[in-house]
């Protein structure tokens, strides 16, 4: 089959698979529909997308060794989902269900960040502004906590 035959055929949404009508050299992005099905925030991070219809192969190790790493991974997953929902809402601003989900995940992310920083300290430099003194350089860093919950 030559290239002109490939480009004339309609390209169906393969629900996450690269269809034969989209050669690797030609970008293929399925069109998102209003009210698209979504993954949970952990599944979204593991799959590299919030939307199952956009799921192309992507792998990440979501197993964390310490409570600090587990908490950070949960916040990363929430942040990822918020970014995905924000991008979706940029093109579908009238999708009330997606906006409600965006608000719900924003609330979860704020609360999760508050709990995480109360135990492990600020996640970003700006987080030190909410404290009595500058603590950004204080040890231990989250990845230096032991599994048992004790420091280094």
pLDDT tens-digit series, residues 3-26 = 444 444 555 555 555 556 655 545
Residue with token string 């609330």? 107
Buried b (16+ CB within 10 A) or exposed e, 71-85: bbbbbebbbbbbebb
Tens of pLDDT, residues 90-141: 999 999 999 999 999 999 999 999 998 888 878 888 888 877 888 788 767 6
With cut-offs at 50, 70 and 90, classify the pLDDT of residue 77: confident
Buried b (16+ CB within 10 A) or exposed e, 22-49: beeeeeeebebeeebebbebebbbbbeb
Cis peptide before 47 (omega within 30 of 0): no
- The two structure tokens encoding residue 150: 């004790």
Whole-model pTM above 0.75? no
- Alpha-helical regions (H) of 15-136: 41-47, 67-91, 96-120
Closest of 151, 78, 148 to residue 120, by C-alpha: 151
Q: What pLDDT shows up at residue 10?
A: 56
Q: What pLDDT shows up at residue 41?
A: 81
Residue with token string 């209003």? 34
């Amino acid at each position: 089959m030559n290239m002109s035959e490939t480009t004339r055929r309609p390209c169906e949404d393969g629900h996450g698979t690269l269809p034969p009508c989209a050669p690797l050299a030609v970008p293929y992005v399925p069109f998102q529909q209003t009210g698209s099905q979504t993954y949970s925030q952990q599944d979204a991070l593991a799959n590299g997308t919030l939307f199952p219809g956009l799921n192309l192969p992507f792998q990440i190790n979501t197993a964390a060794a310490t409570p600090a790493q587990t908490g950070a991974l949960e916040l990363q997953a929430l942040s990822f989902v918020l970014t995905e929902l924000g991008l979706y809402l940029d093109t579908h601003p009238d999708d009330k269900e997606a906006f409600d989900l965006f608000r719900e995940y924003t609330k979860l992310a704020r609360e999760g960040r508050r709990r995480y920083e109360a135990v492990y300290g600020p996640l970003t430099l700006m987080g030190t502004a909410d404290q009595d003194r500058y603590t950004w350089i204080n040890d231990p860093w989250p990845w230096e906590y032991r599994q048992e919950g004790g420091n280094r």
